């Protein structure tokens, strides 16, 4: 007991030191606690230093790129916790993540019921009907990304209405809509199943709670419709950007769904657990996802992860932070092609499902971004708009890469 109180005090004092460093623009300091990624973080700091000229002094909170310092802040929060045993396993964001799930209960029930009804008739659907259902679940997963907790400063950001009924109204807010490409790609993979029996879709997860439910529903549909045979989920290995999914969140959520006193919801939970047992759903984590590097650096920094992603037929990247890392968080012109902004990151055909919460967007029509800025200055950061943005070859009979 006493030991716990001391640990708490220590963590709190380390966290207030961190807050003070941030508020007063102190130099970024190396991580001290030995951990799997400590050396890589410290090398990255040296790299940031090398970008500055002699007269610039040391990299500090306000002078370093936002993507770097924001990631560094979450890594330092983690450092404060691992330096404070016995609470070194504590997830400071767990409570708010769980609350997000409980507050979204109604929508979760609606989604699980929708999925189970769909599954009952799925065999009888023709290709067009299947496509319509696929598009619906993609959009649900896209708008599920509105529910992150870092944007709301940890305040409640749950889903309270039945999102299925809102899809048509939300359509005008999808600025880039490449759903047809995803359908073409997966249909093509399905046709070549005799030669390549495994069709793997990887989902690079973002937030736990309601968003994760929308991702699992989509993943279930991909298996049930035979559009994929295997789904690999990629989560975070440490608490990250408040609401991001860790293995504990993933398992906890499936357990909650399974135990819930609702026929269709618990059926989902049971099915999902079985997918995991059968190896049709695989959860993976890798420290790269909680490093500050943009994804263009993945093949150098984490070649094993890059090789893993290359096994996918399609990779779905959920959320805003993943988009920032896909595009290097640079100030690209709005009309720069997505392919170009990826700066050589092409492990497999990929698609970003992201609501806009940071000042970056590429692949728009000429003038589209400027028009939005004129009519709605905050369009980039409120989460009101979204993209389903694809990059990758579609095969000889379809389109060429370069989108």
Ligand X SMILES: O=P(O)(O)OC[C@@]1(O)O[C@H](CO)[C@@H](O)[C@@H]1O
Q: Which residues bind Mn ion (CB under 5 A)?
A: 148, 206-207, 241, 244
Take residue 348 and report the two structure tokens written for it.
Answer: 């497999």
Give kind and range of the element (H or E) at residue 354.
strand 350-355
Nearer to ligand X, 183 or 332 (CB): 332
Q: How far is the CB of 264 from ligand X (least distance, A)?
A: 28
Nearer to ligand X, 241 or 272 (CB): 241
Q: Residue 5: enclosing H or E segment and its boundaries?
A: helix 2-23
The structure tokens listed for 166 are: 């809102």
End-to-end CA distance of the chain: 58
Residue numbers 255-284 binding ligand X by CB under 6 A? none
Closer to ligand X at the Cβ: 19 or 263?
19
Give the contact letters, 292-321, x = binds to ligand X (CB under 6 A), - = no. ---------------------------xxx
Question: Which span (14-22, 142-150, 345-353, 367-375) binds ligand X, by CB under 6 A?
Answer: 142-150
Q: Using the 8-state DSSP alphabet, how is residue 37 labeled?
A: T
Least distance in Å: CB of 324 to ligand X?
Answer: 5
Cα–Cα distance, 320 to 166 (Å, whole number): 21
Pairing mode, strands 386-391 and 350-355: antiparallel
132 to each of 125, 178, 183, 202, how far by Cα in Å?
10, 14, 10, 21
Which member of 103, 202, 206, 285 binds ligand X (CB under 6 A)? 206
Lay out the site mask for ligand X across 156-175 (x = CB under 6 A, - = otherwise).
Answer: --------------------
Q: What is the DSSP letter of 198?
A: -
List the one residue from 45, 60, 68, 70 that touches ligand X (CB under 6 A): 70
Residue 141 CB, shortest distance to ligand X, in Å, is 12
Q: Which of 136, 150, 208, 225 binds ligand X (CB under 6 A)?
A: 150
Q: CB-wise, 271 or 329, nearer to ligand X?
A: 329
Distance CA 231, CA 376 (A): 38
Per-residue x/- track, 342-371, ligand X (CB under 6 A): ---------------xx-------------
Rg of the chain in Å (alpha carbons): 21
Task: Give the nearest distance from C-beta 3 to ligand X in angstroms.
Answer: 34
Beta strand extents in 223-349 (DSSP E only) = 230-235, 281-285, 314-318
- The site partner of 107 among Mn ion, ligand X, none (C-beta below 5 to 8 Å per kind) is none
Cα–Cα distances (Å) from 83 to 11, 76, 89, 273, in that order, read 7, 10, 10, 34
236 sits near ligand X (criterion: CB under 6 A): no
Distances (CA, A) of 262 to 92, 249, 296, 336: 30, 21, 44, 47
Beta carbon of residue 26, minimum distance to ligand X (angstroms, whole number): 21
Element containing residue 351 per DSSP (H, E) = strand 350-355
Q: How far is the CB of 263 from Mn ion (least distance, A)?
A: 31
Judged by beta carbon distances under 5 to 8 A according to partner kind, the member of ligand X, Mn ion, none in contact with residue 357 is: ligand X
Please, what is the minimum distance in Å from the beta carbon of residue 238 to Mn ion? Answer: 13
Both tokens of 381, joined, read 């950061």
Question: Nearest approach, Cβ of 171 to ligand X (angstroms)?
Answer: 20
> Which residues of this chain interact with ligand X, rule CB under 6 A?
70, 145, 148, 150-151, 206-207, 241, 319-321, 324, 357-358
């Amino acid at each position: 007991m006493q030991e716990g109180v001391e640990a708490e005090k220590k963590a709190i004092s380390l966290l207030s030191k961190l807050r003070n460093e941030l508020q007063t623009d102190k130099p970024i300091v190396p991580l001290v606690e030995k951990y799997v990624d400590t050396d890589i973080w410290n090398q990255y700091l040296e790299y940031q230093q090398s970008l500055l000229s002699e007269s610039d002094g040391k990299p500090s909170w306000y002078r370093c790129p936002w993507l770097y310092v924001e990631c560094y802040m979450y890594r330092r929060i983690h450092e404060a916790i691992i330096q404070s045993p016995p609470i070194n396993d504590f997830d400071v964001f767990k409570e708010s993540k769980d609350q997000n799930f409980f507050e979204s209960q109604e929508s979760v029930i609606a989604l699980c019921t929708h999925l189970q009804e769909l599954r009952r008739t799925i065999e009888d659907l023709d290709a067009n009907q299947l496509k319509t259902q696929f598009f619906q679940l993609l959009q649900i997963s896209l708008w599920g990304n509105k529910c992150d907790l870092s944007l709301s400063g940890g305040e409640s950001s749950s889903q309270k209405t039945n999102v299925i009924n809102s899809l048509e109204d939300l359509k005008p807010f999808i600025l880039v809509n490449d759903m047809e490409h995803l359908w073409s790609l997966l249909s093509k993979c399905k046709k070549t199943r005799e030669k390549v029996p495994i069709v793997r879709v990887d989902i690079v997860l973002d937030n736990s709670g309601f968003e994760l439910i929308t991702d699992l529903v989509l993943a279930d549909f991909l298996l049930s419709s035979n559009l994929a045979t295997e789904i690999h989920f990629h989560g975070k290995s440490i608490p990250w950007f408040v609401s991001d999914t860790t293995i504990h969140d993933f398992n906890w959520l499936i357990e909650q769904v399974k135990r819930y006193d609702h026929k269709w919801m618990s059926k989902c939970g049971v099915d999902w657990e079985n997918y995991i047992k059968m190896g049709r759903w695989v959860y993976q984590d890798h420290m790269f996802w909680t490093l500050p590097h943009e994804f263009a650096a993945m093949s150098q920094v984490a070649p094993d992860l890059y090789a893993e992603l290359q096994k996918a037929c399609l990779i779905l990247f959920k959320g805003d932070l993943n988009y920032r890392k896909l595009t290097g968080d640079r100030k690209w012109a709005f009309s720069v092609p997505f392919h170009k902004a990826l700066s050589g990151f092409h492990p497999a055909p990929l698609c970003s499902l992201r609501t806009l919460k940071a000042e970056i967007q590429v692949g728009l029509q000429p003038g589209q971004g400027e028009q939005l800025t004129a009519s709605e200055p905050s369009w980039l950061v409120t989460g009101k708009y979204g993209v389903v943005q694809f990059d990758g070859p579609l095969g000889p009979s379809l389109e060429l890469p370069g989108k």
